[in-house]
Structure 1
Amino acid sequence: MKQILRTVVVSTLLIALLPFIGLATPCATSLLYKAENTTDCGLSDGSIIFSGVVASNTYTVDYLYNGLPQPTLTITPTTTDLIMSGLPAGDYENIVINNTSLGCNWGPFGTITVNDPIVLIDSVSSIDPATCGTNTGSIFLYGLRPNTTYTINITLNGNPQTPVTGIANGSGMIALGSMTSGAYDITVSSGTCTSNSVNINLYDPEFLPAFDYEIHLGCSGDSVFFQNQSENASSYTWDFGDNTSSTDLSPGHLYTTQGVYTVVLHVFNGSCERTITHEVTLVHPVISAFNITRDSICERQEAMFDGTPSINAYTYSWDFGDGKTDESNNPHPKHFYKEPGAYTVTLTVKDFVPCPNSSSQIITVAPFSMIFDHQDTSVCIYEPMKITGMNTAPSYVGAINYTWSPAAGLDSTNVQEPYFYAADTQSHLYIVTATTGAPFNCMLTDSVRIFAQPHVRLVNVTGDRVINYGGTTHLNADGGYYYSWIPTSGLDNPNIKDPIASPGEPTIYTVYAMNQYGGCRDSATVKVDYVNDQEFVPTAFTPNGDGKNDVFKLVNMRSQRLLQFRVYDRWGNLVFQTTDANQGWDGTYNGNVMDSGVFSYIIQVAFPDGSQKTYRGDVTLLR
């Protein structure tokens, strides 16, 4: 422990006179002092000792701690040492010691420093884990105070760990065991003091995966023998890429299906894993392949095949998919299909082993025909008609080209469904030819006969009408042989040219007129609407029997419906009510004539469209 000794001469003059007066004066005594540091960081057990005082005398001590004034201490030493005890680490200044009974004072003393002990890790070493993924590593910290307990703060891979407690041995070393691999940052603490930070890495043991393989091809399967070349591994797992595996050191494996397989070797050391991958390509030496001169044909056409694209083929066997085969070892057969359809053609070839290999293709034999909706049909002159038809050829035959002849009366001669237009009542015969391009090259011819009928044109059609609600109107149309009016509601006869209409609501009638053959027609529309007169509520009436304005009632009630009609006197008594729009109040109540005056009313009216309206007001009875 560091000690600081200093001597202060209190009074040079008194010391010089002491030999002459034969008396030692206490005030003239020199005081020696020393500082004793704290025993651990953060503790208040340091002290400052002043030597040379008079025992059993009371002293006061004033001082500054780290520049700040502190409370006065009163100390009565039992020896010649005055001790300022219980001090924390820091700087003590302007220390003044007083003894009032002696009339003496000493000081000021300072600066005097009390220190905390130093915590320092001066070096570190380690032992890596013996097995990958285990906590068998160790870290050693050096340069600490022997036989001292420390709190050890550890950060592993940037993540703080739970602090642990360790005791430095007699050489000042702490050993940390059960450590895993990773990057460590370590400090130690004692009291409130923390050491410098040290960094060290622990590493798992290295181990390397590696393997090679040898392939043996065969007809029923390919054998692959694997050689494990991994180093420093404790166990192995093989993934052969075909949903099978093995834990043998260097296994062999049979692949029953050709293909490219991803083989993965997993090697382990402790809980750690490394992998290595190889692509193993297994292809048989014989490959079947063939071409079809035309893989899409129409009915009544011949197909030709070519098997020479096959590799290492020594024999050829054909299956044409329609129950017919060719075992003549012919690489260039021909075949005629009797029925349309999609047929799977299979070529099986063999090499010298002989190992077989097969390939298949689909040949399409397409049906091809046309059906028209209007065979020997009729059309109205002056009106275009679209000649609609259906081609039974499937969409996979490609685009179909059409040619119509003759061109007269048609808007186009190269579309599937042209428009026909007739200006006379004659029979017209057209020939259409349909062809497809490659690969089918189909062709088909059909005919359509069309008869042009007389034209129908409506004239003298009734214009739009507005009638009173509940009224009727006479409709009319000319120019046809047969007539039909739609809708039929409100008509006395919908199948004549001039029906009488009495609709219950605004209605648009459509009239259709046809010729005597029923094939040509025309149409027109007539709108029949109606009006609602505005109802009127009088403000006064005179029930004097003169036949004029004798009754109080709603005026212009036609299509409206009266929901309620009530009249009240000025005291709120009901004097009249009705729901009959034809009735009104004659100014009496219970057969008694009412005096002149003002009466209130409530009238509620409903309209044909479902809406309602309410009238509230006053009416004056005058006599």
Structure 2
Amino acid sequence: MIEWEMRYAADENTIDCEDPDQPTEGVHLQYSLPPYTVWTDINYWTPNTTYTGPLYSWDSYSESIPVAAFGPDTKIRWYQDLTSGNNWDHWGIDEVEIVCPQSQNIFWSNGLSDSLNQWVSPTTTTDYIVAIFDSLGNLATDTITVTVIPSPDADFSAISPVCINQNSDISLDNTPDPNVTYTWDFDGGVVASGSGGGPYQVNWPSQGTYTITLTATEGPCETVQTQTVVVNSDITVTITPPNPMVCPDSAVDLTASGGDYYGWSPSATLSSDSGATVTATPSGQTTYTVTGANQQGCTGSASVTVQMYPDPVIDVNPIPSEGCEPVLVDFNSSITPGAVSYFWNFGDPASGVFNTSTNANPQHVYAIPGAYDVTLDIISSDGCPASASYLAMINVYENPIAGFMPDSQTVNMSNPTHTFTDQSTGAFTYYWDFGETGSPSNYSNLQNPSHTYSDAGTYYVWQVVTTEHGCSDSAFAIVYVERDIAFYVPNAFSPHNNDGINDVFRPYGIGVAGDYGYFMRIFDRWGKIVFESSDLEYGWDGKINNSKALPGVYSYFIEVQYSDGLWHKYYGKLTLIE
């Protein structure tokens, strides 16, 4: 007896596969004997168009095997000989068994139980013998050989994880068998190389987990093995800072992230060509590229351009840049592109705390002669330091010391010449002003000049000495030129003898200033003023109130101013003779 499970499908004209839905589209159960050219029906199951009944659900079926079909070489099949619609009908069988009636005694070899049906799983080709005794004592035996074909080896290895578009090496664990057909399913992967049993190189264009399936087929046997490959996305590498700006001759640290290993280029101006952080010291605008990789070998690249601020341009204009001690210098600075801090060193340590300044345009007084170096350090508006040094930018020249000596303080008009002796130091040129404005010889450039004055008086003589750098000093002195002075006072006169000689008492002088510089009084013996005059030409005629004075001794007091402006006083006695 043969038993099985069977079902017709109800697919309603599904493309390529529909269902048995016509009376002529049923399934035949048939047997055949060698040479298997004729098949004989055991039964036929007619379908219907309503998809009802047990045929359209899984159900159990059993049929007795005709006696004519008994034998070790009999073949049995389920067969559909007619279809309609789209090519094929869909139906299936399962759980096929050949069984004997339970009233029989069954004996199996190879240590199997005495049950009607046996499930065997031999590892090698094995003969199985069955002996059946019915209730009448009849004996029937049969032998079946179960041929075991070794399952083909489908073990393989695949490199995982890999990166997007990175090849995974896929290969059999053993040497490919030429008798085995290898069918690979790479789950959408792109085969870069390989065929048959491999090895293969396969890559995937996107991130994910992919299942590789290998079906190894040899005859009716097949083995299916799978391996998963994890495809990681390429890493994203970034560089910080993203837009670095550096000052000339300065450095900047560049830090990469996103990977486990890094390689940098160009390396000529880098502290290292590897590592997450490197120090760049470019000589100009430079683009650096870093390639990062993770533990799985996935890579990514990033670039950054290090731009350079322009060199600050420092221009210093001192006004003045040279002069005579002391020199007050205004320092004017011009910085491109601008500055946020200044530090001046005036090169003048003797000035103490005043030797430096943080002003943009400072002033400094240089008190000591010499050449001074000036340095200006700045921080530009871009934040870049810069320095400018100027050798001997400021020159301070020593002043001369004027001085001279006249040959004498005073001369008179009988010899009105003064000679002057230079006593200056550091002089290169000389200039003299003798104080006699209007005189054609009032000026001189001689070192030791002389000057003859044309008139008596007090004169201010100036000396101006100048160095070769134009530094000057002056000195002055007062000299005097006196007139020739003579003053005579008689000691007696005879106003009353009518001889016309020596009738008036008066002094006589040379170099007297005149009416405003003269005064005379005459006193009698008792101190009474008997005469006075402020005119040198007006003398005493010997009368008192128009009467003749008595002969005798009288006293005089005279004040006279000479042409040099000096006053002189004269006291004395005079005698009036009868």
Q: TM-score, normalised by structure 1?
A: 0.27
Q: Rg larger in 1 or in 2?
A: 2
Q: TM-score, normalised by structure 2?
A: 0.28
**Greater RCO (Cα-Cα under 8 Å, separation 6 or more):** 2
